[in-house]
């Protein structure tokens, strides 16, 4: 069964450093998402991406964040200057269609900012 | 307006029992309500979903009950098994709010053997 993959599984970085989290969505999916989950809290939407541009973003997704689809298979989330509060599990998701379609989540990248 | 409230925070059920998790929403524009199951170290996985044109949807041991007027929906797990032990999240989205899923706070379910 097709699945969303994410690398790395765990990323440790120093505060102020840039990190890039990588995702390979399911191949025939057109809509891509990033969510995050701070330990013990609920999953929060960050951004959605379609047709090589951001469709919508949450208030969490400020200028420190950016997303890119550098090629036909990868989807990345960049955090330019990490803060302690960026420590969380970051999930990539993809869906074949837009609203109301199943979003398939990857296993996540645990980001630890020291 | 965009929140989804979920209860209880944790739930302990005996094997064979019924697990019930409740969610309430505020945004009347929400019209897609999925439930996700998450095991430790894994991403959320869709369990079952409902749209407001029906009041109930059943898939195997899992049933969603939906009350549009009360803006509430619930997940029932019949004949709960130890393998059902996981965190369950309700979520919602709507055409006017785009494709983003708004998640509830999650329920940690433990099914004792």
Q: How many CB pairs under 8 A join A and B?
A: 66
Query: Span A43-60, mean pLDDT?
Result: 93
Helices (H) and strands (E) counted in chain B, each on its own, are: 0, 11
Alpha carbon separation from B84 to A40, A44, B16, B75, B78 (Å, rounded): 19, 24, 11, 13, 10
Question: How far is it, in rounded angstroms, from Cα A70 to Cα A49?
Answer: 13
B46–A102 C-beta distance less than 8 A: yes
B34–A56 C-beta distance less than 8 A: no
Residues of A in contact with B32 (CB under 8 A): 99-100
Chain centroid to CA B109: 12
Kindly state whether A96 is in contact with chain B, defined as any CB-CB distance less than 8 angstroms. Answer: no
pLDDT at position A100 over 70: no
pLDDT at position A69 over 80: yes
pLDDT at position A75 over 90: yes
Residue-level pLDDT at A1: 76
Which pLDDT band holds residue A6 (cuts at 50, 70, 90)? very high
Residue B91, token pair as written in the block: 């979520």
Residue-level pLDDT at B1: 58
Residue-level pLDDT at A61: 96
CB B47 within 8 A of CB B62: yes
CA angle (A22 as vertex; A68, A43 as ends), nearest 5: 95
Best CA proximity match to A46, nearest among A11, A9, A10, A21: A21
Q: Which of A58, A100, A105 sits opposite B43 (nearest CB)?
A: A105
B103–A42 C-beta distance less than 8 A: yes
- Report pLDDT digits (tens) over A21-43: 999 999 989 999 999 999 888 89
Residues of chain B with pLDDT below 50 are none
């Amino acid at each position: 069964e097709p699945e969303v993959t994410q690398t790395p599984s765990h990323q440790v970085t120093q505060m102020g450093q840039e990190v890039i989290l990588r995702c390979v969505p399911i191949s025939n999916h057109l809509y891509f998402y990033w969510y995050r989950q701070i330990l013990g809290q609920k999953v929060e939407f960050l951004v959605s991406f379609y047709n090589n541009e951001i469709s919508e973003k949450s208030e969490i997704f400020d200028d420190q964040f950016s997303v890119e689809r550098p090629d036909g298979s990868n989807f990345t989330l960049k955090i330019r200057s990490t803060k302690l509060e960026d420590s969380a599990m970051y999930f990539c998701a993809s869906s074949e269609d837009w609203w109301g379609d199943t979003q398939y989540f990857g296993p996540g990248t645990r980001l630890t900012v020291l | 307006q965009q929140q989804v409230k979920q209860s209880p925070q944790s739930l302990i059920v005996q094997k064979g029992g019924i697990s019930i998790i409740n969610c309430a929403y505020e945004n009347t524009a929400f019209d897609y309500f999925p439930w996700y199951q998450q095991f430790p170290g894994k991403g959320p996985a869709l369990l079952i979903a409902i749209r407001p044109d029906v009041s109930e949807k059943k898939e195997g041991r899992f049933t969603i009950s939906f009350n549009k007027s009360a803006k509430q929906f619930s997940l029932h797990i019949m004949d709960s098994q130890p393998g059902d032990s996981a965190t369950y999240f309700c979520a919602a989205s709507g055409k006017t709010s785009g494709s983003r899923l708004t998640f509830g706070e999650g329920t940690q379910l433990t099914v004792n053997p």
